[in-house]
Amino acid sequence: MINIIESNYRNPGDNDKAFLGLFRQYEQDIYKMAYVYVKNKDDALDIVQETAYQSFLKFNTLNDLKLFKTWIIKITINCAIDLLRKKKKVIHLNKEVVEFISNSTDDIPLSLTLQDLLEELNEDEKTVLLLKYFQGYTFSEISEIINTPLSTVKSVLYRALQNLRKKTRRSDMYGQ
């Protein structure tokens, strides 16, 4: 099968057919790998679909078709991990909590103040702070996301926290 597809792959107009043939050959493996991660049929099918999309976009970057299976499984794993991260951030509230929150207005001024403080930070500081504390990413993940050295990410975060401390420090509370 690889030899037939390799001949098709050499013709730029046949890349779609080559991709489709290879993808169909490994579709069950992709589904099984996705299912291992999410343990749910619907989510596994979503991952297969996302894997097809992501791999189709990047198919022309694959230099050796013999590595297709390894390459596509790696994409599948990354898609599964992304889905798990997204689902991890979803918090389901019970009805009583939703009613309590909707009836409570005590925290509105605090949230507005926090939003105002975040708006005063520069873009790098705000991005790193939001990724670290609101999205839960590690320093190394943030470094990869924003394509910045790890030490710089740490420096930016600590500078942002220092700026927030200065802005929130009240002279009547601290005697300054």
27-63 per-position pLDDT tens digit: 998 998 888 778 889 999 999 999 999 999 999 888 8
Say how far apart CA 172 and CA 170 lie, in whole Å: 5
Query: SS3 of 34, please?
Result: helix
pTM: 0.47
Say how far apart CA 19 and CA 87 lie, in whole Å: 30
By the 8 A CB rule, do 80 and 116 touch?
A: no
Q: Which amino acid is at 84?
A: L
CATH topology classification for 2-88: Rna Polymerase Sigma Factor; Chain: A (1.10.1740)
Tens-place pLDDT, residues 78-110:
898 889 888 876 655 556 555 555 555 554 454
Alpha helices per DSSP H over the chain: 2-9, 15-38, 41-58, 68-88, 95-103, 108-120, 123-129, 139-146, 150-168, 171-174
By the 8 A CB rule, do 98 and 53 touch?
A: no
Q: Which of 8-22, 48-62, 107-121 has the lowest mean pLDDT?
A: 107-121
Q: Which amino acid is at 101?
A: I
Where along the chain do its domains lie?
2-88, 105-170
148 sits in the region (left: phi over 0; alpha: psi -120 to 50; else beta) called: beta
Tokens encoding 136: 């839960």
What's the CATH number of domain 105-170, 1.10.10.10, 3.50.50.60, 1.10.1740.10, 3.30.465.10? 1.10.10.10
